[in-house]
Amino acid sequence: MKKLLLILLCLPFIGFGQNVYIPDANFKAYLVGNTAINTNGDAEIQVSEATVFNGDIYCQGMSIADLTGIEAFTALTYLNCEDNQLTSLDISNNLALNSINCSNNQLTSIDVSAATALINLQCYDNQLTSLNINQNTALIYLYCSYNQIISLDISQNPSLISLNCSYNQLVSLDVRNGNNIIIDTLQHSIFRTKNNPTLSCINVDDAAWSTATWTNIDPQHYFSNNCNTTAIQEHTTNKELLKVTDLLGRETKQTNQPLFYIYDDGTVEKRIVIE
């Protein structure tokens, strides 16, 4: 009798231990209300329910601030959590993901390296300063505009057909993936780098082909297969010097002071000539 009573007392704790921890009430309400996920119809999501679910989670626009619990959905293939209040997102356990839309949140970083099957990543309108997609070799679509990304390297993404990285703070962009000809040439594909004022040289497979094909760029953007100092110097030789001014904007030829060299293409170089 005592043993039976002990077992009955422990059952609630055993059941609780099998539930997925989901601290955000809005996220939990969505999951519990999804009959494809909550197959037994109770008020919790069991680990057994989460691990076998291989469908899609659409929880956009639900005022969700914390997606803790998503890690239990190890077979999840599609995640749409856009238009929420997320500041972090951990998908390191979601190895089967092939599409993620986490746009219009407050994310400062996102690690998608574990999702090696990822083909579609939409993370625009966040606060991302970096984005590492070197492990996502199957990636086809990348939309990361309206962030604060400084450097972007897609040289390990040979299947990419669409790239929109406009409205960032890029100073470095490497697109040398050996298959540039499919970007912006197939139906529904794009290449956009506009509104990156600190970006000038863009690394590509074929500079002449990119110049003729990719036009959604800023006036100061140009293409090279090697954006090193030599390439920049060669590019600047095509510019015509309009005038040289001092710090106050006055034209001058005096040396031994900071000077601004203003060119006809709108670019400005700051130099100090010592004599």
- In the prediction, which pLDDT does 250 show? 76
- In the prediction, which pLDDT does 185 show? 83
How far lies 44's CA from each of 5, 32, 124, 132, 231, in Å? 25, 6, 32, 35, 60
Greater confidence (165 vs 236) lies with: 165
- In the prediction, which pLDDT does 272 show? 57
Domain locations in the chain? 2-238, 239-275
When mean pLDDT is compared across 46-60, 120-134, 185-199, 260-274, the lowest value belongs to 260-274
When mean pLDDT is compared across 76-80, 135-139, 222-226, 268-272, the lowest value belongs to 268-272
- In the prediction, which pLDDT does 187 show? 78
Among the listed residues 162, 156, 150, the one whose alpha carbon sits nearest the alpha carbon of residue 133:
156
pLDDT tens-digit profile of 212-227? 999 999 999 999 999 9
Q: How many CB atoms lie within 10 A of CB 69?
A: 18
Q: Taking all residues of the chain, what is their mean pLDDT, rounded to a whole number?
A: 87
Average pLDDT over residues 4-10: 45
- In the prediction, which pLDDT does 263 show? 63
CA distance 3 to 12: 16
Residue percentage of the chain with pLDDT more than 90:
74
| DSSP secondary structure code for residue 33 in this structure | H
When mean pLDDT is compared across 50-59, 99-108, 228-237, the lowest value belongs to 228-237
- In the prediction, which pLDDT does 202 show? 97
CB 67 within 8 A of CB 79: no
pLDDT tens-digit profile of 163-188? 999 999 999 999 999 999 999 888 77
- In the prediction, which pLDDT does 274 show? 53
Beta-strand runs (E) in 56-161:
56-58, 78-80, 99-101, 120-122, 141-143, 151-153
Greater confidence (233 vs 94) lies with: 94
Q: Which residue has the tokens 């914390």?
A: 66
pTM of this prediction?
A: 0.77
Residue 8 binned pLDDT confidence (cut-offs 50, 70, 90): very low
Query: Which option is the CATH number for 2-238: 3.80.10.10, 3.30.565.10, 3.30.420.40, 3.30.230.10?
Result: 3.80.10.10
Q: Is the pLDDT of residue 269 over 60?
A: no
